[in-house]
Structure 1
Amino acid sequence: MAMYDQFAFIYDRLMSDIPYTKYAEWVQKKAPTSAGNKLVDIGCGTGVLSVQFAKAGYEVIGVDLSEAMLTVAQNRSTENHLSISYICQSMAEMDGIQGMDIAVIAIDSLNYLETIQEVEQTFQHVFHSLVEGGHLFFDVHSLYKMDEIFPNGPFTYEDDQVAYIWNTEIGEERHSIYHDISFFVKDESGYYERFEESHYQRSFPLESYENLLKKIGFTSVSVSTSIFEEQSEKEVERIFVHARK
């Protein structure tokens, strides 16, 4: 499983096109602070959304498996003079978090779980962390993206500080993909340092997520494909789900 050790320190630069503000607005519209403001940001990464939620008036706990990511997140919180608690845990083994009004698993973090059993365990932990009437928000890669877009690698990127070559390979399990990325990062002397990152992601049919949510006890499960922008019905790449306990 990817730990983002070196990647953590250039992650924000490479994710600058993600409309985090739209994600935060989606959550705020469905679950305003006036209805309960305790929020756990699961798979919080470098804390971009955690900070946005805290600025909007939520009391935030951030959870991530990568200590390197959490270091960046903590620094971001300090720079913004915000008090956010960060916990290093796997979402499938999340423990000790109770009384939450809102849980968010953003930017395809759920796709890093390798089995449907891990997805179920995560939903169970989230369910038990929420108060009655609490909200769960998450997004996942569509099967179209897993099966049609990702296998069309390699993908490349270059700016004045960072370049990468991103190779992809279809995994053994259905709707899974291996990401092998070579990064070239310019140091202060103008030379490039190379490092490698390997990631594995897997998605499941939307019905599988919906059935698990209902099995565990979530209600009012709603699905959207237009939180970031309108997507063609045949070429949906990201699916957004909102459920209530």
Structure 2
Amino acid sequence: MSYKYFSSLYDELMDEAPYDQWLNFFEQQKNKYLPEAKKVMDLACGTGEVTLRLFERGYDVVGVDLSEEMLSVAQSKAFQKGLQISFYLQDMSQLDGLEGFDAVVIFCDSLNYLTSEEQVRNTFERVYGALREGGLFLFDVHSPYKMNCVFKNNTFAYNGDEISYIWNSFPGEHKLSVEHELTFFVYDEETNQYDRYDELHKQRTFEPSQYKEWLEKVGFKTLAITGDFTDERVNDEHERIFFTLKK
């Protein structure tokens, strides 16, 4: 998957994303299970929206992402705000050299971009190694319901003055996987016309019980598995599943 063009559009397209809900979820769980947590890794941080918010709430935070383009946007935003935040270019499934964290978060369904079981299990192992004893690991993923009933074989569209897109989702090669074909039309003031860009994004999820099995095999203790930013147990209509774990 390329982020060459997507990274420059990401923040505008995600303008209504519930970033504060992710932050509130983190702080609720942190206050419940590890109130003293301060040192946080925002893994798969993208353009740094969660990273910057964590810093502004007083956390000692670093951002890690696979995409140079996304990190460039994140660093630029931090610089413009005068925030001293370290960003690292790493694949989450090969995370190395970062350790001693009170908490690691992977939000905005970023884990679903790992399309093999091995990558997911490796990520859990690397996160475990990055945490201090007693540290927290929090992440969210798309539910099986969302993959099968919301995404699969559906089309989404947005028509704005500067950016428009058509987003088609098709079944992927694996169970509970989808392929998102995204076509963007971006207005260019110099040419007074719209430029077209195409992206292919692949996502895969697993049953909550499978994630739980892999996590506990690594050594994590499961503290909570909940749905849709609530403290409710996951049901068949939740679209987003949240995991809270302890090393």
Structure 1 length-normalised TM: 0.95
Offset at residue 117 of structure 1 (A): 1.4
SS at match of 2:40: strand
SS at match of 2:15: coil
Structure 1 contact 3–65 (Cα < 8 Å) conserved: no
Offset at residue 43 of structure 1 (A): 0.6
Q: Which position in structure 1 is the counterpart of 2:120?
A: 119
Aligned ranges for residues 215-234 of structure 1 at < 5 Å?
A: 215-227=217-229, 233-234=235-236
Percent identity over paired residues: 40
Q: Which position in structure 1 is the counterpart of 2:43?
A: 42
Q: Which position in structure 1 is the counterpart of 2:6?
A: 7
- Number of aligned pairs? 244
SS at match of 1:234: coil
Aligned ranges for residues 78-227 of structure 1 at < 5 Å?
A: 78-189=79-190, 190-227=192-229
Distance 1:155 1:42, change over 3 A: same
Distance 1:80 1:34, change over 3 A: farther
Structure 2 contact 148–176 (Cα < 8 Å) conserved: yes
Structure 2 contact 144–205 (Cα < 8 Å) conserved: yes
Q: Which position in structure 1 is the counterpart of 2:241?
A: 239
Structure 1 contact 23–228 (Cα < 8 Å) conserved: no
Say yes or no: does 1:64 pair with 2:65: yes
SS at match of 1:35: coil
Structure 2 length-normalised TM: 0.94
Residue range with higher mean Cα deviation, 111-120 or 22-31: 22-31
- CA distance in 1 between counterparts of 2:245 and 2:85 reads 24
For structure 1, list consecutive stretches of 5 or more residues without a partner in the other structure.
none
- CA distance in 1 between counterparts of 2:157 and 2:120 reads 31
For structure 2, list consecutive stretches of 5 or more residues without a partner in the other structure.
none
- CA distance in 1 between counterparts of 2:169 and 2:229 reads 27
Supply the AA of the counterpart residue of 2:120.
Answer: V
What are the Cα deviations for residues 209-230 of structure 1, in whole angstroms up to 9, with x where unaligned? 1111111111133111131798
Q: Which position in structure 2 is the counterpart of 1:19?
A: 18
Residue range with higher mean Cα deviation, 224-233 or 127-136: 224-233
- CA distance in 2 between counterparts of 1:184 and 1:228 reads 36
- CA distance in 1 between counterparts of 2:94 and 2:232 reads 34
Distance 1:113 1:232, change over 3 A: closer
